């Protein structure tokens, strides 16, 4: 067995990552971006039930976490485009095994 220290070494970062993808709506927003949504309206349409206010708030949080980039195009009117950063793309890939686990197992447990 590894030492307790080795086990715990990963914990604070893991907890941050889990809370980031686990916060309600963040997972589906990240997935929508991974599947090609770039505009605010596309994201809104991709996540039925999510209010505009909450979508805006989540996007700001994801941006400040470094996983989503917000680009302002200096057209008239300005266009805003959202995309995954390199770490955001990696995060979506890292989420997939857990999604697959949930699909495979969640129905069979008492959860």
Cβ proximity to its own copies, 37 vs 59, nearer residue:
37
Pick between residue 78 and residue 110 the one whose CB is nearest to its own copies. 110
Question: HEC string of the chain?
Answer: CCCHHHHHHCHHHHHHHHHHHHCCCHHHHHHHHHCCCCCHHHHHHHCCCCCHHHHHHHHHHHHHCCCEEEEEECCCCCEEEEEECHHHHHHHHHHHHHHHHHHHHHHHCCC
Residues that bind its own copies (CB under 8 A): 1-2, 4, 7-8, 10-22, 24, 27-28, 31-32, 35-37, 42, 45-48, 64-67, 87, 90-91, 93-111
Report the nearest approach of its own copies to the CB of residue 76 (Å).
Answer: 27
């Amino acid at each position: 067995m590894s030492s307790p220290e080795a086990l715990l070494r990963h914990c604070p970062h893991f907890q941050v990552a889990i809370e980031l993808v686990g916060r309600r709506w963040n997972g589906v927003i990240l997935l929508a971006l991974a599947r090609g949504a770039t505009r605010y309206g596309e994201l809104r349409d991709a996540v039925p039930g999510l209010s505009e206010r909450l979508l805006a708030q989540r996007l700001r949080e994801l941006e400040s976490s470094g996983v989503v980039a917000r680009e302002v195009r200096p057209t008239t009117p300005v266009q805003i485009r959202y995309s995954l950063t390199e770490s955001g793309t990696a995060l979506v890939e890292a989420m997939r095994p857990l999604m697959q686990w949930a699909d495979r197992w969640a129905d069979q447990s008492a959860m």
